[in-house]
């Protein structure tokens, strides 16, 4: 009686490469005694599986639950199903050579943080990976950062320079091994090696570069470490002098430094570690999580919180993401340098520049900062920063999208009409490539302030279309003509003869949030620091009604002059004066001195605000936060990173709430004006100016300000929502403010609205490109 053998051919789509997908399929097929093969085909995986009909059906039915943890199966397409004639059966199951062409689906896998098994082996004296900083397996290791071409195979990665030793080759070829087809496999015999260089770039004569680097950090030195996606600077966070020196040398007086905690229990000792944060920290994404510091525990242990995270009581924490990170923290037997429970691991760059990737770049650009360089010879093909997340309104949300997240594609609800390259914004730039029903957002490129940063932009603009084999049919840019990203996009479009579509900044923010949720029509509260409106004013306190066809502006915050433009953004006190002048509040000597203004300064500001000379109108809510922070005395004189005054105002409000304070009700106004609803925070400034508060009232006023802005936001929605739209998207950089977001969300939900918050792309300018891609690539955005 003939055995009913069938051969089923499937194409599997989703996150299917670089996550141990093929080895897992091979393992379970062998376990089920089925024959066939599996093959990477430029983004899809082709599975040919052969056996008794019932067993094949059981195999396919159970497939989703048996996949590797990091895989995501979006689609299973049946290519063919045939009865196999006797004598033509396949024998065994194998992983076939990749097919480089033929298919159109490409995905570049994201980097995966060190898995538990590899961590254990690295610390196990009996393992051949003992003490080896480049240990990886199919469940972990670099992917995106070593990719030199597609599809993802060792021969097209930076690892191709390291031919496998016989032992590695055997594990690579053994279906029962965790390193079966692990493309980034390496060992102390055949893999990359560490080197230690001194400040002048000369090799340090040491038998153990890691141990020497650890000793140097313990001794107060700054060590540049070549990590997964670029260089990091490591110092001891308990060492006041070392931290102060690092701040000084990096010209970074205030922007927080992240720390790496040895493990979750250490993180939980110094910070309030929620279940959601712990889960994400320990996942293969392993971002930096911004956590509330346990102030007493930090102080008791001598952790220099005020130098790590000036003006706030939060701490950015990550876990060791590679064996190299782990081995920096953890001494091996015989190493006299004690374990580092915490280590500062901050970006290895100069201000305004992207992180260094090559040894030469680090030597040139970190010269004068790093005392030592812990280098290695596994090249970083593509730069990638650490991702940053925080828990807002009950969920972990992405604030900087890079390692672990990018470039995993976002799926859209409906296909785009054309392939689109979206150029993103000027600050916190990331670009996006949209095609079919996917948008691939690049890793964080950064602020486009320096030639080096622009080079970083040009690199992703070149690499993304090439790796995904997609020619952009349209280029999406911001409305603002002076942005570097806009200029690069226009040049690119004119060179390749494709149209440019301008997308208004806040429309892009809203569209990004809506795309994440697959929503085509919503109201959107977009609170931001800047962004050009079609009327030439600076927008950023917007209530938009967004549909597939575009948007209408339903409401905004009252416009106020921004005297000196960017100069006022840097000096929040100028903005406070402008707001007081705008409401006609008297500026007595008390307030003037408190704001650090001379009589002459004040005269200049009066002139600028009266005439509008060099004083564009701003509607941005971020600017209201700046001005209020200055008025109540919690803003820095000069802002040294974006949003700093608002971050400090939020910190003051949080400290007040921690102390059991109840936010006072501060006055604001909402009125209708020429078909729009206008929210006005002027009355709050008037009240505070009329009776200048003592410094110890700053926390209460900060809390009151948040509460009033949240109420004003809710009222904007309530007044504009007459059209019966009950879905509200929240986006823009101000929506990083946890207090504000949680109050707005609670208020809107209690009135029956559905609120949409960003999850996978940042609410700030790092998420803009997704929205630009959707608007310009869809039918709606066709100019």
Nearest to 136 by CA among 151, 161, 154: 154
Q: In degrees rounded to 5, what are phi and psi of residue 129?
A: -100, 10
- Rounded Cα distance between 360 and 371, Å, is 15
Counting contacts by CB under 5 A, is residue 139 touching Zn ion?
Answer: yes
| Smallest distance from Zn ion to CB 30, Å | 21
Q: Which stretch binds Zn ion (CB under 5 A): 187-195, 271-279, 293-301, 674-682?
A: 187-195
| Smallest distance from Zn ion to CB 699, Å | 46
Cis peptide before 673 (omega within 30 of 0): no
| Smallest distance from Zn ion to CB 322, Å | 10
- Rounded Cα distance between 185 and 452, Å, is 32
For Zn ion, which residue of 29, 45, 63, 115 counts as binding (CB under 5 A)?
A: 115
Q: Which stretch binds Zn ion (CB under 5 A): 57-65, 81-89, 132-140, 465-473?
A: 132-140
Counting contacts by CB under 5 A, is residue 286 touching Zn ion?
Answer: no
Counting contacts by CB under 5 A, is residue 118 touching Zn ion?
Answer: yes
Counting contacts by CB under 5 A, is residue 776 touching Zn ion?
Answer: no
Secondary structure letter of residue 680 according to DSSP = E
Counting contacts by CB under 5 A, is residue 698 touching Zn ion?
Answer: no
Counting contacts by CB under 5 A, is residue 576 touching Zn ion?
Answer: no
| Smallest distance from Zn ion to CB 165, Å | 4
Q: Using the minimum distance from each CB to Zn ion, give the nearer residue, 164 or 773.
A: 164
Site for Zn ion in 156-185 (CB under 5 A): 165, 168
Q: Using the minimum distance from each CB to Zn ion, give the nearer residue, 23 or 777.
A: 23
| Smallest distance from Zn ion to CB 412, Å | 32
Residue 41 CB contacts under 8 Å (≥ 6 apart), including other chains: 11, 98, 99, 102, 103, 105, 151
Counting contacts by CB under 5 A, is residue 140 touching Zn ion?
Answer: yes
Q: Using the minimum distance from each CB to Zn ion, give the nearer residue, 128 or 606.
A: 128
Is-contact 286 113, C-beta < 8 A? Answer: yes
| Smallest distance from Zn ion to CB 62, Å | 25
Nearest to 98 by CA among 166, 181, 171: 181
Q: Using the minimum distance from each CB to Zn ion, give the nearer residue, 168 or 298.
A: 168
Handedness of CA 95, 100, 102, 104 (dihedral sign): positive
Counting contacts by CB under 5 A, is residue 122 touching Zn ion?
Answer: no
Q: Using the minimum distance from each CB to Zn ion, give the nearer residue, 111 or 371.
A: 111
Is-contact 25 184, C-beta < 8 A? Answer: no
Q: Using the minimum distance from each CB to Zn ion, give the nearer residue, 56 or 118.
A: 118
Burial 31-49 (b: 16+ CB within 10 A, else e): ebebbbbbbbbbbbbbbbb
Counting contacts by CB under 5 A, is residue 137 touching Zn ion?
Answer: yes
| Smallest distance from Zn ion to CB 747, Å | 45
- How many chain residues bind Zn ion (CB under 5 A)? 10
- Rounded Cα distance between 357 and 226, Å, is 7
Nearest to 704 by CA among 742, 662, 660: 662
Site for Zn ion in 607-636 (CB under 5 A): none
Q: Using the minimum distance from each CB to Zn ion, give the nearer residue, 169 or 413.
A: 169
The SS3 call for residue 92 is coil
Quick one: 684 exposed, middle or buried, by C-beta within 10 A (0-12, 13-18, 19+)?
A: buried
| Smallest distance from Zn ion to CB 26, Å | 18
Q: Using the minimum distance from each CB to Zn ion, give the nearer residue, 187 or 402.
A: 187
Q: Using the minimum distance from each CB to Zn ion, give the nearer residue, 113 or 479.
A: 113
What is the contact mask toward Zn ion in residues 188 to 207, using x (rule: CB under 5 A)?
Answer: -xx-----------------
Q: Using the minimum distance from each CB to Zn ion, give the nearer residue, 319 or 735.
A: 319
Q: Using the minimum distance from each CB to Zn ion, give the nearer residue, 377 or 436.
A: 377
Residues facing residue 755 across a β-bridge: 728
Q: Which stretch binds Zn ion (CB under 5 A): 111-119, 244-252, 394-402, 654-662?
A: 111-119
For Zn ion, which residue of 158, 187, 741, 768 counts as binding (CB under 5 A)?
A: 187
Q: Using the minimum distance from each CB to Zn ion, give the nearer residue, 167 or 494.
A: 167
CA R_g for the chain: 28
Strands 194-198 and 72-83: unpaired
| Smallest distance from Zn ion to CB 29, Å | 22
| Smallest distance from Zn ion to CB 332, Å | 19
| Smallest distance from Zn ion to CB 137, Å | 3
| Smallest distance from Zn ion to CB 301, Å | 31
- Rounded Cα distance between 383 and 403, Å, is 9
Residues facing residue 729 across a β-bridge: 524, 756
Residue 233 CB contacts under 8 Å (≥ 6 apart), including other chains: 222, 223, 224, 225, 246, 250, 344, 345, 346, 347, 348, 366, 369, 370
- Rounded Cα distance between 32 and 265, Å, is 40
Name the one residue in this structure whose structure tokens are 């910070």. Answer: 271
| Interface ranges with Zn ion (CB under 5 A) | 115, 118, 137, 139-140, 165, 168, 187, 189-190
């Amino acid at each position: 009686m003939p055995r009913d053998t069938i051969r089923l051919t499937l194409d599997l789509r989703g996150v299917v490469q670089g996550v141990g997908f093929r080895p897992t399929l091979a393992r379970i097929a062998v376990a089920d005694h089925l024959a066939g093969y599996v093959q990477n085909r430029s983004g899809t995986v082709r599975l040919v599986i052969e056996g008794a009909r019932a067993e094949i059906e059981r195999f396919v039915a159970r497939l989703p639950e048996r996949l590797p943890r990091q895989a995501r199966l979006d689609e299973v397409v049946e290519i063919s199903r045939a009865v196999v004639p006797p004598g033509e059966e396949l024998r065994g199951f194998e992983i076939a050579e990749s097919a480089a062409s033929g298919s159109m689906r490409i995905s570049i896998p994201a980097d995966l943080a060190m898995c538990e098994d590899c961590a254990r082996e690295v610390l196990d004296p009996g393992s051949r990976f003992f003490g080896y900083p480049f240990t990886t397996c199919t469940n972990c290791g670099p992917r995106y950062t070593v990719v030199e071409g597609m599809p993802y195979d060792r021969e097209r990665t930076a690892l191709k320079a390291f031919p496998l030793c016989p032992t590695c080759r055997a594990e690579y070829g053994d279906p029962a091994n965790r390193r079966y087809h692990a493309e980034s496999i390496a060992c102390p015999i055949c893999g990359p090696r560490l080197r230690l260089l001194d400040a002048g770039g000369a090799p340090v004569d040491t038998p153990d570069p890691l141990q020497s680097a650890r000793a140097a950090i313990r001794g107060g030195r700054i060590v540049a470490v070549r990590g997964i996606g670029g260089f990091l600077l490591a110092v001891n966070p308990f060492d006041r002098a070392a931290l102060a020196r690092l701040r000084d040398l990096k010209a970074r007086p205030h922007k927080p430094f992240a720390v790496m905690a040895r493990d979750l229990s250490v993180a939980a000792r110094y910070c309030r570690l929620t279940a959601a944060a712990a889960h994400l920290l320990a996942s293969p994404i392993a971002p930096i999580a911004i956590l509330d510091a346990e102030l007493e525990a930090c102080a008791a242990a001598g952790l220099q919180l005020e130098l790590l995270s000036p003006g706030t009581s939060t701490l950015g924490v990550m876990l060791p993401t590679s064996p190299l990170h782990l081995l920096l923290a953890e001494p091996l037997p015989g190493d006299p340098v004690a374990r580092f429970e915490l280590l500062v691991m901050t970006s290895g760059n100069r201000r305004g520049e992207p992180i260094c990737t090559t040894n030469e770049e680090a030597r040139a650009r970190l010269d004068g900062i790093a005392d030592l360089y812990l280098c290695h010879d596994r090249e970083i093909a593509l730069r990638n920063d650490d991702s940053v997340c925080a828990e807002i309104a009950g969920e972990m949300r992405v604030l900087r999208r890079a390692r672990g997240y990018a470039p995993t594609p976002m799926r859209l609800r409906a296909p785009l009409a054309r392939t689109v390259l979206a150029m993103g914004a000027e600050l916190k730039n990331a670009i996006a490539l949209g095609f079919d029903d996917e948008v691939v957002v690049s890793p964080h490129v950064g602020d486009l302030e320096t030639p080096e940063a622009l080079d970083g932009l040009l690199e992703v603009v070149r690499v993304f279309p090439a790796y995904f084999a997609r020619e952009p049919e349209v280029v999406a840019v911001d409305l603002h003509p002076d942005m570097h990203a806009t200029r690069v996009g226009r040049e690119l479009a004119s060179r390749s003869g494709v149209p440019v579509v301008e997308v208004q900044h806040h429309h892009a923010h809203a569209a990004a949030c809506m795309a994440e949720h697959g929503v085509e029509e919503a109201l959107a509260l977009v609170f931001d620091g800047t962004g050009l409106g079609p009327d030439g004013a600076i927008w950023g306190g917007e209530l938009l009604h967004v549909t597939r066809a575009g948007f209408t502006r339903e409401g905004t915050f009252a416009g106020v002059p921004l005297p000196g433009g960017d100069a006022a953004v840097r000096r929040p006190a100028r903005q406070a004066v402008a707001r007081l002048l705008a409401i006609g509040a008297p500026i007595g000597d008390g307030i003037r001195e408190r704001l650090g203004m001379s009589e002459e300064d004040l005269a200049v500001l009066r002139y600028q605000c009266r005439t509008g000379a060099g004083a564009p109108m701003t509607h941005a809510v971020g600017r209201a936060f700046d001005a209020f922070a200055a008025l109540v005395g919690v803003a820095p004189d000069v802002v040294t990173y974006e949003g700093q005054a608002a971050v400090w105002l939020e910190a003051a409000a949080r400290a007040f709430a921690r102390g059991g304070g109840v936010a006072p009700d501060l006055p604001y106004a909402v009125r209708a004006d020429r078909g729009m609803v206008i929210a006005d925070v002027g009355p709050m400034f008037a009240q505070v100016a009329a009776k200048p508060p003592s410094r110890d009232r700053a926390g209460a006023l900060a809390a009151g300000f948040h509460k009033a802005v949240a109420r004003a936001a809710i009222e904007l929605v309530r007044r504009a929502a007459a059209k019966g739209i009950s879905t509200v998207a929240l986006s823009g950089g101000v929506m990083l403010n946890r207090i504000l977001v949680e109050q707005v969300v609670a208020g809107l939900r209690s009135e029956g609205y559905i609120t949409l918050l960003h999850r996978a792309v940042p609410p700030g300018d790092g998420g803009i490109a997704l929205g630009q891609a959707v608007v310009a690539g869809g039918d709606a955005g066709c100019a």
